[in-house]
């Protein structure tokens, strides 16, 4: 579901909501209204807003957050400011002049004034785009002319061949024919989105005023603000899917094999360029022997130690003869002529030099076999062998870095790590992280009543850094639309992902959402999730600087610290994993779910929201035991300390009202197991 920000700036300007109603009450029951948004009279912004909602290719046809039909209202008149049609015409994959004709002919029957407004229809990708006048009456009259044929037109635009013949062959009928009600009934509700093009000049550059059940925006008066959020409460899994559908992997880059690679994901297989070991090497400390000599007393002729490169393999080094053995250390090259190694524990000293330094004769107590205790050339890694695969993460365990270095690989292809900007917002929030190392400077600012210490930014930055992310500290942003706009605009140009906390609830200072939509030209994909805590979690995309730049992701998380952290782990990190190049399983969507035994008291289930209960899990007697971290109020940051998991408790039903102690529960892992 796209943002539901259909609002108008002037009291008589109601075409957006009116059109929504028209589609929602259409007897075909074909339509699900996705979002309404307002766009200034700016050709680029109009084109961007419309394009961002269109299904541009076949792969996007099933994408729930994109639209089958986009309607724009306004900007179709005769003045120089009316540019909607010119803005959209270059985007049409196919113009639909007959739709426009149907609208004009029908509307002219109602009023000759219809001739004063242009209309324009076309297909962009597989989305039908209808541009109609801004007036309430004019827009709905035009739409009504083509509404009955629209479900069929959508289906036709989406058939694989792109021709309506395929559709007819399958038995679909045009509206009005006898089998219309059965075959032409859409499989799923068509997604509709209305873009209302508004004359920005008339608004003095200000964001238009919110009305009715529309989103709060910066210029709203306190008394006039909404009393209920207009954002639908999305199920958690739907919200996460929307996030991932709007997320793609970062560009690939070549990097030297270095320590900073921890957290990077390989974009190409890594191939060994050297054999490991590069020579026949001893696995133990002992004696290089000729196996067929068997047990017995032998003369010790020489020794090879690991790293003794000057002596080894030179012409002066004689071959080991039958009756001789040579001392050898772990990792040293095998003495020429020897074929196995006997470990020192399987031998005894028979004769030593007088000073006790040198071994002269040694008794070998066991029968060695050919190749015993020897690592052959390339037996750990062979030249040309794939040692790490595309999609593998270079972990903090250390093994991948070690493997790359051992295999003599100087550089690898990885997905660039996303650059993540983290900001707190709020006039009351006081910076309280102290990076000073000088004892005398280690102090915190005192708080006045009403002020709180910024706990979100330190928590999130610490967590993101520990995950190896490239983090930008964006500081604390005041609750003021101009500052928010300036800071977030800079942040989205610098970073691939921007995370803010605070300012997304129903207070009069909660300005993030309107700033995203009205000032940054962003699209809010959702503004609430049915979850406890973190209900107001908001996800938006902000267009890149130019056509070539990708959209930036903006996660506006709730201000309460536990909510912010839960949303970060459950909603933001899966997106960051996908951006980092991980191929996420559509089932688990980047989250790690485990079964655990609930080791705390019974928990009463919430009546309306599933709960993600902060807890600690530990392995005991063959099971994970999950223990609550205590009070779960979303302001209680301490409920996240010691937490390494979130237990999932569904919302209450008639049958299930409580999670009983000792019952099995699902938990999402968010930290490390200890």
**Of 559, 581, 590, 610, the one binding ligand AMP by CB under 6 A:** 559
Q: Which does 373 bind (CB under 5 to 8 A by kind): ligand AMP, Mg ion, none?
A: none
Q: Are 230 and 4 in contact (CB under 8 A)?
A: yes
Q: Are 571 and 243 in contact (CB under 8 A)?
A: yes
**Of 75, 133, 277, 502, the one binding ligand AMP by CB under 6 A:** 502
Task: Tell me, by CB under 6 A, how many residues bind ligand AMP.
Answer: 20
572, 578, 584, 589 alpha-carbon torsion, rounded to 10°: 20
Strands (E), 332-410: 340-343, 347-352, 359-364, 374-375, 386-388
Report in angstroms how near the CB of residue 222 gets to ligand AMP at its nearest.
Answer: 14
Among 548, 502, 526, 259, smallest CA distance to 400 is for 259
Binding to Mg ion by residue 558, rule CB under 5 A? no
Judged by CB, which is closer to ligand AMP: 208, or 527? 527
Report in angstroms how near the CB of residue 430 gets to ligand AMP at its nearest.
Answer: 9
Question: CA-CA distance, 419 to 219, in Å (whole number)?
Answer: 32
Q: Are 404 and 257 in contact (CB under 8 A)?
A: yes
Judged by CB, which is closer to Mg ion: 126, or 456? 456
Site string for Mg ion, 446-485 (x = CB under 5 A): ----------------------------------------
Binding to Mg ion by residue 610, rule CB under 5 A? no
Binding to ligand AMP by residue 514, rule CB under 6 A? no
Q: Which distant-in-sequence residues (6+ apart) come within 8 Å of 597 by Cβ?
A: 623, 624, 625, 626, 662, 663, 664, 665
Binding to ligand AMP by residue 52, rule CB under 6 A? no
* Three-state DSSP class for residue 593: strand
Q: Which distant-in-sequence residues (6+ apart) come within 8 Å of 371 by Cβ?
A: 339, 340
Binding to ligand AMP by residue 333, rule CB under 6 A? no
And the tokens for 476?
Answer: 């604390």
And the tokens for 300?
Answer: 């010790």
**Of 561, 581, 590, 599, the one binding ligand AMP by CB under 6 A:** 561
Question: CA-CA distance, 158 to 59, in Å (whole number)?
Answer: 11
Binding to ligand AMP by residue 503, rule CB under 6 A? yes
Letter string b/e over residues 271-291, b meaning 16 or more CB atoms within 10 A of that residue's CB: ebeebbbeebbbebbbbbbbb
Rg of the chain on CA atoms, in Å: 34
Report in angstroms how near the CB of residue 474 gets to ligand AMP at its nearest.
Answer: 12
Quick one: which segment of 380-388, 537-545, 557-565, 589-597 binds ligand AMP (CB under 6 A)?
Answer: 557-565
Binding to ligand AMP by residue 520, rule CB under 6 A? no
Strands 593-598 and 552-557 turn out to be unpaired
Judged by CB, which is closer to Mg ion: 151, or 561? 561
Judged by CB, which is closer to Mg ion: 468, or 503? 503
Binding to ligand AMP by residue 368, rule CB under 6 A? no
**Of 175, 507, 544, 671, the one binding ligand AMP by CB under 6 A:** 507
Judged by CB, which is closer to ligand AMP: 457, or 513? 457
- Find the binding residues for ligand AMP in span 421-440 (CB under 6 A): 424, 426, 428-429
- Integer CA distances (angstroms), 47 to 28, 44, 365, 451, 513, in order: 29, 5, 86, 43, 21
Q: Which does 306 bind (CB under 5 to 8 A by kind): ligand AMP, Mg ion, none?
A: none
**Of 133, 134, 138, 502, the one binding Mg ion by CB under 5 A:** 502
The DSSP output letter for 59 is G
Quick one: which segment of 94-102, 372-380, 497-505, 651-659 binds Mg ion (CB under 5 A)?
Answer: 497-505
List contacts with ligand AMP (CB under 6 A).
424, 426, 428-429, 452, 454-457, 501-505, 507, 510, 558-561
List contacts with Mg ion (CB under 5 A).
426, 502-503, 559
């Amino acid at each position: 579901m796209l943002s539901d920000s259909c609002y108008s700036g002037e009291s008589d300007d109601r075409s957006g909501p009116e059109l929504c109603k028209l589609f929602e009450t259409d007897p075909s029951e074909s339509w699900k209204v996705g979002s309404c948004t307002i766009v200034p009279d700016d050709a680029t912004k109009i084109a961007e807003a419309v394009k961002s909602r269109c299904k541009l290719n076949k792969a996007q046809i099933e994408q729930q957050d994109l639209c089958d039909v986009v309607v724009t209202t306004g900007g179709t008149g005769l003045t120089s400011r009316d540019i909607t049609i010119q803005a959209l015409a270059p985007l049409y994959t196919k113009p639909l002049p007959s739709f426009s004709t149907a609208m004009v002919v029908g509307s002219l029957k109602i009023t000759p004034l219809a001739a004063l407004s242009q209309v324009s229809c076309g297909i962009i990708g597989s989305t039908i785009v209808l541009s109609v006048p801004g007036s309430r009456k004019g827009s709905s009259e035009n739409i009504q002319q083509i509404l009955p044929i629209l479900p069929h037109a959508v289906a036709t635009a989406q058939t694989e061949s792109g021709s309506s013949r395929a559709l007819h062959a399958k038995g679909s009928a045009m509206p009005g024919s006898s089998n219309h009600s059965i075959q032409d009934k859409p499989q799923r509700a068509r997604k509709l989105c209305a873009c209302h093009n508004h004359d920005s000049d008339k608004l003095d550059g200000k964001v238009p005023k919110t009305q009715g059940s529309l989103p709060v925006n910066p210029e709203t008066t306190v008394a006039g603000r909404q009393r209920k959020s207009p954002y639908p409460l999305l199920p958690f899994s739907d919200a996460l899917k929307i996030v991932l559908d709007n997320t793609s992997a970062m560009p690939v880059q070549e990097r030297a094999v270095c320590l900073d690679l921890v957290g990077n994901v390989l974009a190409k297989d890594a191939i060994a360029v050297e054999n490991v070991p590069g020579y026949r090497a001893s696995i133990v400390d002992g004696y290089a022997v000729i196996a067929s000599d068997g047990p017995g007393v032998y003369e010790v002729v020489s020794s090879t130690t690991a790293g003794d490169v000057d002596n080894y393999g030179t012409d002066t080094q004689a071959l080991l003869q039958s009756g001789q053995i040579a001392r050898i250390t772990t990792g040293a090259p095998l003495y020429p002529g020897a074929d196995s190694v006997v470990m020192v524990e399987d031998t005894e000293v028979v004769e030593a030099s007088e000073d006790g330094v040198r071994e002269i004769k040694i008794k070998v107590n066991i029968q060695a076999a050919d190749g015993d205790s020897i690592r052959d050339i390339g037996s750990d890694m062979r030249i040309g062998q794939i040692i790490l695969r595309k999609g593998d993460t270079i972990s903090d365990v250390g093994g991948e870095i070690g493997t790359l270095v051992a295999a003599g690989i100087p550089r690898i292809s990885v997905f660039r790590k996303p650059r993540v900007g983290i900001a707190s917002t709020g006039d009351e929030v006081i910076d309280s992280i102290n990076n000073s190392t000088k004892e005398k400077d280690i102090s915190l600012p005192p708080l006045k009543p009403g002020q709180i210490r910024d706990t979100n930014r330190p928590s999130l930055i610490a967590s993101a850094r520990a995950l190896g992310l490239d983090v930008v500290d964006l500081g604390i942003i005041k609750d003021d639309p101009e500052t928010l706009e300036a800071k977030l605009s800079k942040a989205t140009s610098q970073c691939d992902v921007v995370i803010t906390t605070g300012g997304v609830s129903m207070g009069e200072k909660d300005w993030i959402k309107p700033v995203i939509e009205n000032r940054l030209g962003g699209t809010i994909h959702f503004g609430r999730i049915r979850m406890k805590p973190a209900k107001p979690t908001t996800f938006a995309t902000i267009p890149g600087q130019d056509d070539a730049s990708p959209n930036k992701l903006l996660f506006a998380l709730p201000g309460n610290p536990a909510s912010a952290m839960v949303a970060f782990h459950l909603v933001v990190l899966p997106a960051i994993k996908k951006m980092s190049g991980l191929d996420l399983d559509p089932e688990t969507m980047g989250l790690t779910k485990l079964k655990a035994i609930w080791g705390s008291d019974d928990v009463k289930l919430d009546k309306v929201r599933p709960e993600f209960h902060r807890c600690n899990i530990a392995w005991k007697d063959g099971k994970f035991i999950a223990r609550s971290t205590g009070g779960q109020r979303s302001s209680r940051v301490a409920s996240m300390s010691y937490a390494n998991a979130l237990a999932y408790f569904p919302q209450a039903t008639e049958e299930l009202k409580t999670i009983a102690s000792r019952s099995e529960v699902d938990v999402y892992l968010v930290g490390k197991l200890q």
